C-alpha cells in the first residue's frame, strides 16, 4: 500500500508551472528523497502534500485520504519539518511541544510523557524550560524534528532538514532520521545535498523545473549509468563518461592529451543529474 | 475547539510573558488623550448634554479596544511572514474556524485589557464610571468584531507593507471619524451617512449609551452583531482560502 501518492499533481502561479503533473508513490516505511536544485519544485510539492498550498489540479493522497477533500484526516497522518526554522522562539521547548500536542488533540498525560521522552531523545531535556530564541540552529532543528514526531505520525515530511547546518550537526540529524526510520515511520524528505540523498534514502526522485525526471533506488540509478565516472577537465570545463569498471575508465585516460585532467570515481547522483539535465544540482 | 484552545494557549503565554510592557504601552495613548482632551477641554465643553470628558471616554474605549483587538493582525502577519509559526497551525488537523476562534480569543483579551485600563484611568480625571451589563456586552462585541476583522486582513495581505497601508488608510481614519471624539451630528450629511456604514460608529454609539446609562441604540446594537457575524464568516473563509 502506498502511504503517499500524488496523481498528476500540478501547481501553477500565473504562467509559471512550479510543479507539472507529478506522479509519485511512496510505500510504508521507506525514506523517499526528493532531489533537485533550488527552485525545482520540491518545496511546492511538499506544501501541496502537507496541505499548505492548494494544488491547481491533481490529487495529493495521504494514507488514502485526499488532502483537499479530507484535510483534517489527512493532516492527522503526518508530521512536518519545514525548511524554515518555524519553532516559536517566544516559547520554551516544552511549550512548543505542548502547543503541538494540543493542536493534535493529544491526551494530556500521554502528551506530557511523550514530551519528556522526545526531549531526552533529542538531547534537549536540560534546556526544556529555556526560551527557544537562545537555542543554536542545530538545537532548533532537532526540536522541530521531535515536535513533528510528538503525535506519532505515520508519515514524516522533512523539507531540506539539514540546510544551513554545519557538517557535524548534519550528521547528528542524519543519525536522528535513521532512528526515526527504525520506528517504522515513512519519511519523505527533500534535499539538494547529493550525499544526504545517497546516505539516507531507500528511493529517490529527481525533479527539475517542476517535472519528475527519474526515480529509483540510488545505487540502481547510478549503476544504470555505469558505476565509475571519468571526469575529463579541459580548459576549465568538465565532461563525463561512464564505465562498468575502473580499469576501463583508466584505459580511456591513456587516449587523452596533455591539456586534459582526469578524475576517476564512483558514479553519484550528481553525475546522474548532470547526465539528465546538463546542469549541476547545485546551480 | 481543541485547536482554538491550543492557539489561545500560545497567545496567552506570550501575552503573560510581556504583560508589563503591554500594560505600559496600552496605558500611554489613553493617558495622553485624557490629559490633552480631558484636562484641556473636559470641563469647559458640554457635548450632547454631558461634560466633554465623559462624552469622550466611551469613544476612547471604542477606539482603544478596536486598535488592540485589530492588532492581532500584526501578530499573525509576523507569525506568517517572518517566523513562519502560522504554518504550524495550518498544517494541524484542525478546522479553519478553530484557528479563527483562537486568534479572536487572543485579540479580545488584548482589547478588553486596554478597555479595563481606560476604566481604571477615568476616575483620575474625575469621571465616574458606570459599568453595566450592556457596557460589557458592547465591549465584548467590539473586540470580537475587530479581532475577526484583524484575522481577515492578516490572511489577505501579502506583505507587512500592505498591513501598514490598511492601518493608515482604514483603521486610523475610522478611529477619528466614527463619533469617538465628537458628536456625529456635527458631520456633513454625506459623511454622517458614510460613518454609519463603518462598524466603529455603532460601537461608539452603543458604548456611549451604556456608559452614560442611556437607552441602547437598538439599530447600532444589531449592526454590531451583524458586523461580528460577517467578519467571523469572512475570517473563516480567508483562512480556508490560504490553505487547502
pLDDT at residue A255 is higher than 80? no
**A53-57, A101-105, A261-265, range with the lowest pLDDT:** A261-265
- Chain B residue numbers with beta carbons less than 8 Å from the beta carbon of A76 are 93
Strand order of the sheet with strand A57-62?
A: A16-27, A2-13, A57-62, A65-66
Chain-chain contact of B91 with A51 (C-beta, under 8 angstroms)? yes
pLDDT at residue A1 is higher than 70? no
For Cα atoms A23, A24, A28, give the angle at the middle one, nearest 5 degrees. Answer: 155
- Going by C-beta distance under 8 Å and a sequence separation of 6 or more, which residues neighbour residue A80? A46, A50, A148, A156, A157, A158, A159, B87, B91
- Chain B residue numbers with beta carbons less than 8 Å from the beta carbon of A54 are 243-244
In the prediction, which pLDDT does B88 show? 93
Of B125 and A280, the one with more pLDDT: B125
pLDDT at residue A36 is higher than 90? no
In the prediction, which pLDDT does A256 show? 67
The phi, psi pair for A183, rounded to 5°, reads -80, -5
From the list A70, A49, A43, the residue with the least C-alpha distance to A6 is: A49
Contact B48/A at CB under 8 A: no
| Mean pLDDT confidence for A210-229 | 90
Q: Could you report the per-residue pLDDT of A147-203, keeping only the tens digit for each?
A: 999 999 999 999 998 887 888 888 888 888 898 888 889 999 998 888 888 889 999
Chain-chain contact of B244 with A52 (C-beta, under 8 angstroms)? yes
In the prediction, which pLDDT does A173 show? 85
Nearest CA in chain B to A147: B88
Chain-chain contact of A99 with B244 (C-beta, under 8 angstroms)? no
pLDDT at residue A114 is higher than 90? yes
| DSSP-assigned states of every residue in chain B | -HHHHHHHHHHHHHHHHTHHHHHHHHHHHHHHHIIIIIIHHTTT-EETTEEHHHHHHHHHHHHHHHHHHHTHHHHHHHHHHTS-THHHHHTSS--HHHHHHHHHHHHHHHHHHHHHHHHHHGGGGT------HHHHHHHHHHHHHHHHHHHHHHHH-SSHHHHHHHIIIIIHHHHHHSSSSS-GGGS-HHHHHHHTTSHHHHHHHHHHHHHTT----HHHHHHHHHHHHHHHHHHHHHHHHT--
Helix (H), strand (E) at residue A5: strand A2-13
What pTM was estimated for this model as a whole?
0.87
From the list B106, B116, B104, the residue with the least C-alpha distance to B30 is: B116
pLDDT at residue A13 is higher than 90? yes
**Do B93 and A104 meet the contact criterion of CB atoms below 8 Å apart?**
yes
Q: Which three cell numbers stand for residue A235?
A: 580548459
Name residues 49-108 of chain A within 8 A of B (Cβ): 50-54, 67-68, 71-73, 75-76, 78, 80, 82, 84-86, 88-91, 95, 98-100, 102-105
Task: Provide the 10 A C-beta neighbour count for residue A239.
Answer: 11
Chain-chain contact of B83 with A91 (C-beta, under 8 angstroms)? no
- Going by C-beta distance under 8 Å and a sequence separation of 6 or more, which residues neighbour residue A64? A1
Our measurement of the distance from residue B33's CA atom to the centroid of its chain's CA atoms, rounded to an integer in Å, reads: 17
Residue A54 C-alpha, separation from nearest chain B C-alpha, in angstroms: 5
Mutation target vs B (from A45, A103, A188; most B CBs, 10 A cutoff): A103
Our measurement of the distance from residue A3's CA atom to the centroid of its chain's CA atoms, rounded to an integer in Å, reads: 16
In the prediction, which pLDDT does A120 show? 92
- Chain B residue numbers with beta carbons less than 8 Å from the beta carbon of A78 are 91
Q: Which three cell numbers stand for residue A172?
A: 547528528
In the prediction, which pLDDT does A140 show? 93
In A14-144, where do the E strands start and end? 16-27, 31-35, 57-62, 65-66, 78-81
pLDDT at residue A92 is higher than 80? yes
Nearest to B93 among A75, A89, A91 (CB): A75
The neighbouring-strand residues paired with A5 are: A25, A61
pLDDT at residue A238 is higher than 90? no
Nearest CA in chain B to A83: B84
ipTM higher than the 0.90 cut: no
Name residues 236-265 of chain A within 8 A of B (Cβ): none
Chain-chain contact of A50 with B92 (C-beta, under 8 angstroms)? no
Our measurement of the distance from residue B65's CA atom to the centroid of its chain's CA atoms, rounded to an integer in Å, reads: 4
- Going by C-beta distance under 8 Å and a sequence separation of 6 or more, which residues neighbour residue A226? A242, A243, A244, A267
User: What does pLDDT average to over chain A?
Assistant: 90
In the prediction, which pLDDT does B40 show? 74
Of B244 and A246, the one with more pLDDT: A246
- Chain A residue numbers with beta carbons less than 8 Å from the beta carbon of B83 are 86, 88-89
Nearest CA in chain B to A68: B244
Per-residue pLDDT of chain B (244 residues; tens, 9 = 90+): 789 999 999 999 999 999 999 999 999 999 998 888 777 775 677 888 888 888 899 999 999 999 999 999 999 998 888 888 999 999 999 999 999 999 999 999 999 999 999 999 988 888 888 889 999 999 999 999 999 999 999 999 988 888 889 989 999 989 888 988 888 888 889 989 999 999 999 999 999 999 988 999 999 999 999 999 999 999 999 999 887 6
**Cα torsion through A90, A94, A97, A102, rounded to 10:** -90
- Chain A residue numbers with beta carbons less than 8 Å from the beta carbon of B237 are none
| Mean pLDDT confidence for A119-140 | 93
Amino acid at each position: 500500500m502506498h502511504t503517499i501518492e500524488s496523481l498528476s499533481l500540478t501547481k501553477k502561479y500565473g504562467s509559471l508551472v512550479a510543479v507539472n503533473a507529478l506522479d509519485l508513490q511512496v510505500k510504508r516505511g521507506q525514506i523517499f528523497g526528493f532531489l533537485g536544485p533550488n527552485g525545482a519544485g520540491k518545496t511546492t510539492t511538499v506544501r501541496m502534500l502537507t496541505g499548505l498550498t492548494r494544488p491547481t489540479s491533481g490529487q495529493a493522497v495521504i494514507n488514502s485520504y485526499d488532502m483537499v477533500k479530507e484535510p483534517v484526516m489527512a493532516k492527522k497522518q503526518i508530521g512536518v519539518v519545514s525548511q524554515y526554522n518555524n519553532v516559536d522562539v517566544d516559547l520554551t521547548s516544552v511549550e512548543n511541544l505542548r502547543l503541538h500536542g494540543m493542536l493534535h488533540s493529544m491526551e494530556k498525560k500521554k502528551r506530557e510523557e511523550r514530551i519528556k521522552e522526545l526531549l531526552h531523545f533529542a538531547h534537549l531535556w536540560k534546556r526544556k524550560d529555556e526560551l527557544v530564541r537562545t537555542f543554536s540552529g542545530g538545537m532548533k532543528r532537532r526540536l522541530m524534528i521531535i515536535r513533528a514526531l510528538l503525535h506519532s505520525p505515520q508519515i514524516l515530511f522533512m523539507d531540506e532538514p539539514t540546510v544551513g547546518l554545519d557538517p557535524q550537526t548534519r550528521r547528528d540529524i542524519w543519525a536522528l532520521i535513521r532512528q526515526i526510520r527504525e520506528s517504522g515511520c515513512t519519511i519523505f524528505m527533500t534535499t539538494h545535498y547529493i550525499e544526504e540523498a545517497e546516505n539516507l534514502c531507500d528511493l529517490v526522485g529527481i525533479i527539475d523545473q517542476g517535472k519528475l525526471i527519474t526515480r529509483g533506488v540510488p545505487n540502481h540509478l547510478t549503476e544504470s549509468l555505469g558505476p565509475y565516472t571519468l571526469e575529463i577537465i579541459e580548459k576549465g570545463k568538465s565532461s563525463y563518461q561512464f564505465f562498468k569498471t575502473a580499469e576501463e575508465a583508466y584505459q580511456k585516460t591513456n587516449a587523452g592529451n596533455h591539456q586534459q585532467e582526469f578524475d576517476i570515481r564512483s558514479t553519484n547522483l550528481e553525475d546522474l543529474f548532470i547526465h539528465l539535465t546538463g546542469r549541476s544540482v547545485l546551480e | 475547539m481543541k485547536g482554538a484552545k491550543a492557539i489561545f494557549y500560545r497567545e496567552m503565554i506570550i501575552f503573560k510573558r510581556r504583560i508589563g510592557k503591554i500594560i505600559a504601552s496600552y496605558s500611554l495613548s489613553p493617558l495622553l488623550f485624557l490629559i490633552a482632551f480631558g484636562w484641556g477641554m473636559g470641563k469647559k465643553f458640554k457635548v450632547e448634554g454631558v461634560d466633554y470628558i465623559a462624552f469622550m471616554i466611551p469613544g476612547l474605549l471604542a477606539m482603544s479596544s478596536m486598535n488592540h483587538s485589530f492588532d492581532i493582525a500584526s501578530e499573525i502577519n509576523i507569525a506568517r511572514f517572518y517566523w513562519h509559526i502560522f504554518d504550524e497551525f495550518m498544517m494541524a488537523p484542525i478546522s479553519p474556524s478553530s484557528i479563527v476562534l483562537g486568534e479572536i480569543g487572543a485579540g479580545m483579551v488584548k482589547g478588553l485589557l486596554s478597555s479595563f485600563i481606560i476604566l481604571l484611568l477615568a476616575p483620575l480625571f474625575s469621571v465616574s464610571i458606570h459599568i453595566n451589563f450592556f457596557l460589557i456586552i458592547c465591549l465584548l462585541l467590539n473586540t470580537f468584531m475587530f479581532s475577526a476583522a484583524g484575522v481577515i486582513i492578516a490572511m489577505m495581505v501579502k506583505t507587512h507593507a500592505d498591513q501598514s497601508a490598511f492601518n493608515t488608510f482604514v483603521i486610523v481614519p475610522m478611529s477619528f471619524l466614527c463619533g469617538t471624539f465628537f458628536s456625529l451630528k456635527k458631520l456633513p450629511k454625506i459623511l454622517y451617512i458614510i460613518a454609519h456604514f463603518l462598524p466603529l460608529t455603532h460601537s461608539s454609539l452603543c458604548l456611549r449609551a451604556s456608559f452614560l446609562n442611556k437607552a441602547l441604540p437598538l439599530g447600532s446594537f444589531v449592526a454590531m452583531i451583524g458586523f461580528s457575524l460577517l467578519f467571523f464568516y469572512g475570517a473563516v473563509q480567508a483562512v480556508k482560502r490560504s490553505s487547502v
